[in-house]
Copies of this chain bind each other. A is one copy, B any other.
Amino acid sequence: MPCAVVLQTKISARELEHIKKYPNAKLISLGIGDTTEPLPDIITLTMADYARALSTAEGYRGYGAEQGNKALRKAIAETFYKDLPVKDTEVFVSDGSQCDISRLQLLLGNNVTIAVQDPSFPAYIDSSVIVGQAGDFEDETGKYRNIEYMKCEPQNQFFPDLSTTSRTDVIFFCSPNNPTGHAASREQLEELVEFARHNGSVIIYDSSYAAYITDESPQSIFEIPGAREVAIEISSFSKFAGFTGIRLGWTVVPEELFYSNGFPVINDFNRIVCTCFNGASNIAQAGGLACLSSEGFMVETLASVGLKVYGGANAPYVWVHFPGMKSWDLFTKILEKTHIITVPGCGFGPGGEEYIRLGAFGHRECIVEASGRLRSLFS
């Protein structure tokens, strides 16, 4: 059957075969999407400190809240849903988006119909098959009978023709999409939300790759008016922060999302999380919080003295604008006055003139110290 497990097994078998056949070839794998870059010190130091403290009476922690620790839920809400009405109590910390896809399938049960983008990440269909929603597999079409496949191809700007899409109870939608890499535009997502509202469908929106968005495409479905009544968003620290092996993600279930009988979905999801999950590893959660706090700290400090600060939220870099100034002059001034090395923005192209880039990769204390010096200089 065409599920991800089988796909990966098949690929691995072919890989082994190939190595046998060409033992001296330098095989390059562009297969599974995995992260490879070392993590910033501030994240791993925080996790190491957290782990070591578990050997002390003061630092030992047993079970945490199944929904995740409060500070992390708050940091996720404030970092990824800034200016959106997402509450920390609507954020459920997970051990990764793939795991929450299955927990959502448990919540949905086998008596619902689903739609998926075609092509899409196999876990939506595979979990649907496991839970018993998919119906028979049809060899001629390569499709499961009960699943609505929404074709996404270059000809339709990778967005389905909703006028010919059948109504389903649930719509899985991933943006930027894995594998096509297409990020849905605001207009496309408005159309999708309108479609779901009209049909009484729930959108399960996978934003695991949102950190890669560089244009004005929405990073969250909740940027679209009306989405809170029809959408759940799942996301992950995996690709954004290199946490693939550490395992950390989250799911947002808005309070305005109800079953047709008026029962709030968030209550049901909370029940699933408490019954079928016991929270993400506390060490991983400490790492996630450090990841969100360090850049946030610097951004807040610089913004507090009136500087125009960008980045930080989705990347370990802070990008600061000094209108009318030259980057190298800024670099020199900061170095002379504060003994901090920065990167002049013009090094990234002429569009970077008037900017400097601050890395937030250092130790937490170092970030705090640097933020203090910069505040003194500019206030």
Contact = CB atoms under 8 A, between A and B. Distances in A.
A290 B48 CA distance: 15
Given A246-B281, A280-B247, A62 B45 contact: no
Interface residues of A, number: 69
A43 B52 CA distance: 9
A130 B275 contact: yes
A277 B249 CA distance: 12
Contact of A54 (B8, B38, B64): B38
Copies of this chain, count: 2
A278 B4 contact: no
A38 B56 contact: yes
Contact of A284 (B55, B272, B277, B281): B281
A369 to B, nearest CB: 19
A127 interface: yes
Contacts of A109: 110, 131-132
A271 interface: yes
Contacts of A3: 271, 275
A199 interface: no
A126 interface: yes
Contact of A52 (B32, B44, B101, B275): B44
A55 to B, nearest CB: 4
A274 interface: yes
Given A51-B47, A55-B40, A279 B62 contact: no
A103 B41 CA distance: 35
B132 A275 contact: no
9 contacts: A3-B275, A5-B270, A32-B63, A35-B62, A38-B54, A38-B57, A54-B242, A101-B276, A283-B284
